[in-house]
A and B are shown apart, each in its own frame.
Chain A
Amino acid sequence: DQQVKQNSPSLSVQEGRISILNCDYTNSMFDYFLWYKKYPAEGPTFLISISSIKDKNEDGRFTVFLNKSAKHLSLHIVPSQPGDSAVYFCAASVNQAGTALIFGKGTTLSVSS
């Protein structure tokens, strides 16, 4: 049973527009969420995170929104750039679980120029 779901396997966006990647979770015990991006032949790279006590966190072009009642989070990239083309993973964690992250299966973002 998937506890973290990324229901869109792929997303195509034009350069300069907004990219919105979505993630749903089922475990209400999750209290920390992260987004990673992965380029081919490389390991995932940390992008941005959010604690369950917040509903928004921004870092430059990247903003993560958390809706606890809906058990939903989203990553907004504005403006999207061709270099953003990668696989994006949503991950969740319970505080006591150390570095044991539960990952979604990823969304492949393609940004065209």
Chain B
Amino acid sequence: KAGVTQTPRYLIKTRGQQVTLSCSPISGHRSVSWYQQTPGQGLQFLFEYFSETQRNKGNFPGRFSGRQFSNSRSEMNVSTLELGDSALYLCASSLEDSKKLFFGSGTQLSVL
């Protein structure tokens, strides 16, 4: 069974731009979560989607948004990029109501 796939693997953007990251969950997993990892703050929860609905949201500004499609694939968008948005963005999928998350390898975003 294929794992969680995230694209692109690396991304370089400049301040003020926007970016869209993509995540394909494990087949059969309907829950998709997004996390941000930085050296200073560690892994922080962004949001969770289940059946195309945002089920939970972390403490991030409105510039961070996401969506989930009917095939459970998910995208997250960051608008008006700031230098502090440079991070590894991790997507995770899970079976319904399971906290056992399966993570992708992440998208490394660098904002210059």
Contact = CB atoms under 8 A, between A and B. Distances in A.
Contacts, number: 60
A43 B106 contact: yes
A99 B44 CA distance: 12
A103 B101 CA distance: 13
B99 A43 contact: no
Interface in B21-41: 31, 33, 35
B100 A43 contact: no
A88 to B, nearest CB: 12
B42 interface: yes
Contacts of B56: 97-100
Most A CB atoms within 10 A — which of B31, B35, B90, B99?
A: B99
Nearest to B101: A99
Is chain B's interface secondary structure helix, strand, loop, or mixed overall? Answer: strand
Contacts of A106: 42
A53 to B, nearest CB: 15
Interface residues of B, number: 25
A80 to B, nearest CB: 23
Q: How large is the interface on A (under 10, 10 to 19, 20 to 34, 35 or more residues)?
A: 20 to 34
Contacts of A91: 43
B55 A105 contact: no
A93 interface: yes
B109 to A, nearest CB: 15
Interface in A33-55: 34, 36, 41-46, 49
B102 interface: yes
Interface of B: 4, 31, 33, 35, 42-45, 48, 50, 55-56, 58, 90, 92, 94, 98-106
Interface of A: 32, 34, 36, 41-46, 49, 89, 91, 93, 97-106
22 contacts: A32-B99, A36-B103, A41-B105, A42-B105, A43-B92, A43-B103, A43-B104, A44-B101, A44-B103, A46-B100, A89-B43, A91-B43, A98-B33, A98-B56, A99-B31, A99-B33, A99-B56, A99-B94, A99-B99, A100-B48, A100-B56, A101-B43
